[in-house]
Amino acid sequence: MARLSVNVDHVATLREARRITEPDPVTAAAIVELAGADGIIVHLREDRRHIKDRDLRLLKQTVKSKLNL
C-alpha cells in the first residue's frame, strides 16, 4: 500500500516570505497527521532560511508519525 509523507518546507517558506509568524509548519504538520499522513518531511538548510531550529525542536516533540529530516 502507498504511504503519504508531506513536506512542510513550503509552509515555512511562506512564513519567511511574509516576515510574520504564520503559517506555522508545526501546526501544518499536526493538521496533515490528523488528516491521515504517514509522515512529515523537513529539510533543514545550513543557512536556516526556511525551517528554523525552533520548528525542528517542536516537530520532534509533536510529530507522532515518522519525521524524515
Query: What percentage of residues in the chain have a pLDDT greater than 90?
Result: 88
What ranges do the domains of the chain cover? 5-68
pLDDT tens across 13-62, in order? 999 999 999 999 999 999 999 999 999 999 999 988 899 999 999 999 99
For the chain, how many helices (H) and strands (E)? 3, 3
When the pLDDT of each residue in the chain is averaged and rounded to a whole number, the result is: 95
- For the cut 90, the answer to whether the pLDDT of residue 1 exceeds it is no
Task: Tell me how far the alpha carbon of residue 39 is from its chain's centroid.
Answer: 10
The amino acid present at 37, given as its one-letter code, is A
pLDDT value, residue 63: 98
pLDDT value, residue 58: 98
Cα separations in angstroms, 63 against 20, 27, 52: 23, 10, 16
d(CA 21, CA 25): 10
